[in-house]
Amino acid sequence: MFDLTGRRALVTGSTQGIGLALARGLAEAGATVVLNGRDEGRLADAAKTLRADGFNVETLGFDATDHEAVRAAVDAFEAGTGPIDILVNNAGMQHRTPLQDFPADAFERLLQTNIASVFHVGQAVARHMIGRGRGKIINIASVQTALARPGIAPYTATKGAVGNLTKGMATDWARLGLNCNAIAPGYFDTPLNAALVANPEFSTWLEGRTPAGRWGQVEELVGACIFLASDASSFVNGHTLFVDGGISVSL
């Protein structure tokens, strides 16, 4: 029931980090993966890497924050290449500044990249899934969907919104055959967290704060993604699955 053979999975923001790891994991489970990003060079490099390992890979370049561009790209892909059976809304960004000094333009970028993109791509893909009566949408939330930490209040707001948009997607689309869920990663060793990983003081704090006692590795998100992308989660809808080493349940 975890086999994804014959299915096609679009992963936004999949040229590095969590997105690329999830794309690889879905490919290992049998899916054809569709990589997405705004940088054509990085997109080609990521596709080349996965193809070299024998996986079926397609690419679809678009800016996930541009509603019209997303709609046009998805519609053209569905018409010319084939159906998107699984969508992983992974595109995201971070900006760390004390809230009283947080730049308004950075706040707007976070809103567009972390939450508007989930709406844009989710809607464009869901319209085709609804016509087929089936589909899997997985939104990448965060431990900050439930918790807050100093210096990232706007990021926390966007990830809280991802959790609630996921509930809304499930409420509207479950009856039409779609499964809409989210994965909430804790602290993972990724390019987005490179500055924190390199900070001995922060790493020591994190290891003490997390019951598992360490940073997560991106490969540890793959199992959750395959579960939510497969028939194993056929009656799971509107759920946010925390993969965080226990940090969200422990004081």
- Tokens found for residue 225: 């993604």
Burial class of 190 by CB neighbour count within 10 A (0 to 12, 13 to 18, 19+): buried
CA atoms within 13 A of residue 57's CA, in its CB half-sphere: 24
Rounded Cα gap, residues 141 and 198, in angstroms: 23
Long-range contacts made by residues 165-172, C-beta under 8 angstroms, separation at least 24?
165/115, 165/118, 165/119, 165/122, 165/139, 166/139, 166/141, 166/238, 166/240, 167/238, 169/122, 169/126, 169/137, 169/139, 169/238, 170/237, 170/238, 171/238
CA-wise closest residue to 81 among 67, 60, 62, 63 = 60
Alpha helices per DSSP H over 53-116? 67-80, 104-110
Does residue 187 contact residue 196 with C-beta atoms inside 8 Å? Answer: yes
Does residue 234 contact residue 174 with C-beta atoms inside 8 Å? Answer: no
Q: What is the DSSP letter of 177?
A: T
Which residues belong to the active site? 155
- Tokens found for residue 249: 């349940």
- Tokens found for residue 125: 């893909």
Helix (H) or strand (E) holding 178: strand 178-185
